[in-house]
Amino acid sequence: MISPDSVTTTGPIVIPDHRPVSVPFGLPADAVCVSRSLPTGEHVEVLSVPLEETAAPWPPATDGGPGGLEDTIRRWVSALASPAATVVVVPLYGCHVAWTAGRAAVIGPPERLGQLEAAVVEFAGVEADLRDAERRAAALLDTVEGDVATSLSLDEHSPDRCAELADRHRRAVAVGRRLALLAPLVHTPPLHPPTLASQLGERLRERTRLVERLEFATQRAEFAERVAEACGQRALEAGIARRQLGLEWAIVVLLVVQTALLVVELLSHRATP
Amino acid sequence: MTFSSQDATARPLRVGIVGGGPGGLFTAWRIEQLASARFAITIFEASHRLGGKVLTPSFTTAAARYEAGAAEFYDYSPVGDDPLRGLVRSLGLATVPLTGAAVIVGGRRIANLDDAGAVLGQDGREGLLAFDAWARSAMTTREFYDSGSDHAATAAPDGRFDAALAATCRLPARSYVEAMIHSDLATEPATTTAGYGLQNYLMNDPAYMRLYRIAGGNEQLVTAIATRLAARIRLGTTVTRIAGVPRAPLTVGWRDGDAVREEEFDVVILALPVGPLSQVVITDTALRTSLARHVAHHDHPAHYLRVTLLIDRPVRGVPGGDDYLMLDAFGGTCLYVESSRDPTATHGVLGLLIGGAAAAELAGETDDVLAAAAVEALPPGLGIGRREVLEARVHRWNGAVSAAPGGWVPLPVDRRHRPSPAHPNLFVVGDYLFDSTLNGVLDSAEHVAGWVAADLAGDPDGVQPQQNHA
């Protein structure tokens, strides 16, 4: 059986299915909203709003104010976000993207919406994968203090914890492996000359601080792995020591028995005239 | 014989540095770091401030800063060691990345390949991709990094950049490329080498280098160095002559108000742009001839002109979240929205960097004319006319950097810095000796400082410092 820790993202995100979602009120009739599933099992709702763009160097900002199109999509995206969640708004060249975990909205020329959507879904897949790995890396740290304490005060139960610590170590390694597989996707070098999709990917990665988050999660996983490995080693040593002690006692008993037999034999020889 | 072998053990070596710009300050800083106890350094600066082209003044109408000279630093760390980045870090200065992808051609924006296809057509897009592929094959990231050093070698053609462009980049992609690089080039494609032109194109690729600025103003770099120097600094002193025979201390004569004074130095370092360098009177015939030859070899002036506008309201950032974009006005102009990343800004600051022939032509115009021309050049979508401009500042940097004309071959690095072998105690430092950037002037300063320190240490061959980057 494949454990949840083994879920990895190793290549281009495959979008297995999508289903339509109702478009929020107040948007143009040709706006489309679909829900797409991500490799982690999560879904992301993507709202696409086609808008003609003229490649003007400095497009007018009239629709960015309260009640404007940009404001409407930002509010729609924010509605799903928890208070602690990040809502990222990226004004791109002739396009506008708002994103939070689970929801994204894209405004842009009709002929570019497809690639913008694909870039958002690809990013959402990487981000969801990283978020899940972050959660698992954080959970690993919850047990660290208890493990360290018991590893330094060994008792008769310490060897029994070997299996538990081995499982902890295995999970830390699994998180580390998953983060290592994510690293190339997070550190994707900027494309040159850029495409609109590559620029959007770069902006989203930058604004959601994926590089720093990956680094922190990797540090946590490595730390948890080191602790689990060290504690497991101590528990293993305790187990070996306990087995050695038993063996030593067996030898002592054998020696005592042997000595006793020898004494009995000597006494019996003496008693014989 | 080295310049230090006379009586350097009896007293500190007297070093005179002419020029208090980045070259002079970097050189003094590096010498002091290498052997501060045995040097007595004097810096002569004609103006009443240090820092030269690194200048971050404020407007008088509002408390808003702007970059009047060097607007950004180049970050070579993706490719190799970056001494300037290291220096900035060691001084504890915070940095901010600078980005800009958009180029305005014929009133339409090209910020990516999708825009290129829409604006230039499929042919234009293909032409741009073909040129980009050629440029990257002609100069790899490592060759770009090493350009200016003695072991520089690229597959770029030797001739002029305009010829290389004509052969490798067909219209309309060529118009886009020319507008994109013109303000950085500070000259015209016809008056520079293909290699220099390629460098200015490839610097837009993050794999080659990135841009950054110092938070709070680039001038903090020179201020931070100046406050740490133990050197004696003479502001408002114009060096007028240098006298001395070969292999003997040199006498520096300078004007301090109406008074003319002189002082003897064991080592003299001329950290001046090419123009002022040619105006220094040299009494020794051999040295004068050598320095004239040095000036003639490097005298290929390129020009900048900066017009900075203070706007009566905050200006929205460049679309795409960038810090600057390129306009095709004046043959290619960089527009910086300097206030874009300051959420507390009450005013907008727009800086236009005009380069090359347009900068030379416009330099003779009045500030008012230039401000009006700058407003005219702004993208219409910004909605800024003359009424919105509260104040305009113009900074003319004529001949401030060096163009490398087609066929021009740089001298070996040692020859560049010591123009007269008969005068081993006279050095020159400058950005024009490398790539006309602050990174280049630091390379130049490090080379000379290392040389001076090694010679003082008694190495008869004058240990050559490591060439970090050019």
CATH number at B387 reads 3.90.660.10
Amino acid at B51: G
- Tens-place pLDDT, residues B281-326: 888 888 899 999 999 999 988 899 999 999 998 887 777 778 999 9
Inside any domain, residue A184:
yes
pLDDT recorded at residue B3? 53
**Residue A215 CB-half CA count within 13 A:** 5
CB-based contact B319 A60, cutoff 8 Å: no
- Residue A54: CB atoms within 10 Å: 13
Taking CB atoms within 8 Å and a gap of at least 24, the contacts of A201-205 are A201/A119, A201/A122, A201/A123, A203/A90, A203/A92, A203/A97, A203/B321, A204/A88, A204/A90, A204/A97, A204/A99, A204/A119, A204/A120, A204/A123, A204/A127, A205/A123
For β-strands A43-50 and A103-108, DSSP reports them as parallel
Inside any domain, residue B62:
no
- In terms of residue numbers, what domain contains A164? 4-236
Does residue B92 sit in the same domain as residue B178? yes
B373, B159 contact by CB (below 8 A): no
pLDDT recorded at residue B1? 42
In whole angstroms, give the CA distance from residue B424 to residue B5. 12
Place of tokens 């050093």: B149
For residue B354, list its beta bridge partners: B305, B333
ipTM for the assembly: 0.83
pLDDT recorded at residue A143? 80
- Tens-place pLDDT, residues B2-21: 554 445 455 788 999 999 99
pLDDT recorded at residue B36? 59
pLDDT recorded at residue B470? 39
Which residues of chain B lie closer than 8 angstroms to A58, CB-CB? 316, 319, 379-382
* Average pLDDT estimate for B201-225: 95
For residue B267, list its beta bridge partners: B15
pLDDT recorded at residue B399? 84
Nearest to B102 among A57, A91, A189 (CB): A57
- CA distance from start to end of chain B: 29
Does residue B79 sit in the same domain as residue B156? yes
- Tens-place pLDDT, residues B237-285: 999 899 988 778 999 999 887 888 999 999 999 999 998 898 888 888 8
Q: Is the pLDDT of residue A142 over 90?
A: no
Inside any domain, residue B470:
no
Does residue B441 sit in the same domain as residue B397? no
* Best residue in A93, A198, A204 for a mutation probing chain B (most B CBs within 10 Å): A93
Which residues lie below 8 Å from residue A135, measured CB to CB, with a gap of 6+?
none
Q: Is residue A104 exposed (0-12), middle (13-18) or buried (19+ Cβ within 10 Å)? A: buried
Which residues of chain B lie closer than 8 angstroms to A190, CB-CB? 206-207
Number of domains in chain B: 2
Inside any domain, residue A241:
no
Q: Is the pLDDT of residue B78 over 50?
A: yes
Q: How far is CA B394 from CA A83, B22, B315, in A?
A: 48, 21, 20
Q: Is the pLDDT of residue A7 over 50?
A: no
pLDDT recorded at residue A62? 45
| Most confident range, picked from A46-60, A86-100, B362-376 | B362-376
Angle (nearest 5°) at CA B360 between B356 and B364: 155
User: What would the two tokens of residue A109 be?
Assistant: 């020329």
* Average pLDDT estimate for A9-30: 61
- Tens-place pLDDT, residues A86-95: 889 998 888 8
- Residue A111: CB atoms within 10 Å: 12
- Characterize B138-175 residue by residue with b for buried, 16 or more Cβ atoms within 10 angstroms of its Cβ, and e for exposed: bbbbebbbbbbbeeeebebbeebbbebbeebbbebbbb
Q: Is residue B32 exposed (0-12), middle (13-18) or buried (19+ Cβ within 10 Å)? A: buried
- Tens-place pLDDT, residues A154-201: 666 666 677 777 888 899 999 999 999 999 999 988 999 999 999 999
* Average pLDDT estimate for A188-215: 94
Compare all CA atoms of chain B with the CA of A62 and give the residue at the minimum distance: B381
Which residues of chain A lie closer than 8 angstroms to B340, CB-CB? none
Nearest to A55 among B109, B113, B207 (CB): B109
Does residue B101 sit in the same domain as residue B204? yes
Compare all CA atoms of chain B with the CA of A96 and give the residue at the minimum distance: B320
Q: Is residue B240 exposed (0-12), middle (13-18) or buried (19+ Cβ within 10 Å)? A: middle
Does residue B287 sit in the same domain as residue B178? no
Q: How far is CA B49 from CA A127, B26, B72, B308, B397, in A?
A: 50, 15, 20, 21, 16
pLDDT recorded at residue A197? 94
- Among B249, B248, B358, B228, which Cα is nearest to B305's? B358
Nearest to A112 among B114, B129, B316 (CB): B114
In whole angstroms, give the CA distance from residue A122 to residue A99. 12
In whole angstroms, give the CA distance from residue B154 to residue B148. 11
Determine which of A142-146, B261-265, B331-335 has the lowest per-residue pLDDT on average: A142-146
CB-based contact B380 A189, cutoff 8 Å: no
Last residue of a domain, one of B356, B374, B402: B402
Amino acid at B461: D
* Average pLDDT estimate for B24-34: 93
Compare all CA atoms of chain B with the CA of A192 and give the residue at the minimum distance: B205
CB-based contact A112 B321, cutoff 8 Å: no
Inside any domain, residue A250:
no
- Characterize B412-428 residue by residue with b for buried, 16 or more Cβ atoms within 10 angstroms of its Cβ, and e for exposed: ebeebbbbbeebbbbbb
B213, B71 contact by CB (below 8 A): yes
CB-based contact A57 B325, cutoff 8 Å: yes
CB-based contact B111 A60, cutoff 8 Å: no
| B190 touching A (Cβ < 8 Å) | no
CB-based contact A192 B119, cutoff 8 Å: no
Which residues of chain B lie closer than 8 angstroms to A208, CB-CB? none
Q: Is the pLDDT of residue A57 over 70?
A: no
Q: Is the dihedral of CA B436, B437, B440, B444 positive or negative?
A: positive
Does residue B316 sit in the same domain as residue B294? no
Inside any domain, residue A252:
no
- Among B188, B190, B179, which Cα is nearest to B128's? B179
Inside any domain, residue A249:
no
Beta strands in B300-388 (DSSP E): 301-311, 324-327, 333-337, 348-355
- Tens-place pLDDT, residues B121-170: 999 999 999 999 999 999 999 999 988 777 776 667 778 899 999 999 98
Does residue B85 sit in the same domain as residue B210? yes
Q: Is residue B91 exposed (0-12), middle (13-18) or buried (19+ Cβ within 10 Å)? A: middle
CB-based contact B115 A194, cutoff 8 Å: no
Which residues lie below 8 Å from residue B355, measured CB to CB, with a gap of 6+?
B182, B183, B184, B185, B186, B187, B302, B303, B304, B305, B330, B331, B332, B333
Q: Is the pLDDT of residue B466 over 90?
A: no
Number of domains in chain A: 1
Compare all CA atoms of chain A with the CA of B384 and give the residue at the minimum distance: A58
Nearest to B112 among A59, A90, A93 (CB): A93
Last residue of a domain, one of B367, B386, B402: B402
How far is A135 from chain B, CA to nearest CA, in Å? Answer: 31
Which residues of chain B lie closer than 8 angstroms to A94, CB-CB? 109, 115, 319
CB-based contact B113 A93, cutoff 8 Å: no
Does residue B288 sit in the same domain as residue B341? no
| B325 touching A (Cβ < 8 Å) | yes
Inside any domain, residue A60:
yes
Which residues of chain B lie closer than 8 angstroms to A114, CB-CB? none
B463, B213 contact by CB (below 8 A): no
pLDDT recorded at residue A157? 65
Inside any domain, residue A247:
no
Which residues of chain B lie closer than 8 angstroms to A93, CB-CB? 101-102, 109, 111-112, 115, 319-320
In whole angstroms, give the CA distance from residue B351 to residue B443. 28
pLDDT recorded at residue A169? 86
pLDDT recorded at residue A3? 42
CB-based contact A57 B379, cutoff 8 Å: yes
B287, B422 contact by CB (below 8 A): yes
How far is B457 from chain A, CA to nearest CA, in Å? Answer: 45
Determine which of A212-221, A236-245, B18-27, B440-449 has the lowest per-residue pLDDT on average: A236-245
The rounded percent of chain A whose pLDDT value lies above 90 is: 41
* Average pLDDT estimate for A117-144: 92
The answer for B 80-119 residues in CB contact with A (under 8 A) is 101-102, 104, 107-116, 118-119
How far is A70 from chain B, CA to nearest CA, in Å? Answer: 14
Nearest to B132 among A58, A115, A193 (CB): A193
Last residue of a domain, one of B402, B420, B439: B402
CB pairs under 8 A between A and B: 85
Q: How far is CA A249 from CA A157, A242, A244, A257, in A?
A: 20, 11, 9, 12
In whole angstroms, give the CA distance from residue A188 to residue B454. 44
Does residue B79 sit in the same domain as residue B174? yes
- In terms of residue numbers, what domain contains B436? 13-52+218-300+407-456
Does residue B254 sit in the same domain as residue B138? no
Inside any domain, residue B63:
no
pLDDT recorded at residue B9? 54
| Most confident range, picked from A77-81, A116-120, B398-402 | A116-120
Does residue B231 sit in the same domain as residue B252? yes
User: What would the two tokens of residue A137 be?
Assistant: 């890396």
Q: Is the pLDDT of residue A152 over 90?
A: no
- Among A157, A171, A144, A173, which Cα is nearest to A231's? A144
For β-strands A32-37 and A43-50, DSSP reports them as antiparallel
| B340 touching A (Cβ < 8 Å) | no
Does residue B425 sit in the same domain as residue B335? no
| A190 touching B (Cβ < 8 Å) | yes
CB-based contact A189 B207, cutoff 8 Å: yes
* Best residue in B112, B128, B144, B333 for a mutation probing chain A (most A CBs within 10 Å): B112
Place of tokens 């502001």: B235
CB-based contact A55 B205, cutoff 8 Å: no
| B381 touching A (Cβ < 8 Å) | yes
Place of tokens 């120097």: B229
* Best residue in A58, A107, A196 for a mutation probing chain B (most B CBs within 10 Å): A58
Q: What is the largest CA-CA distance in chain B?
A: 74
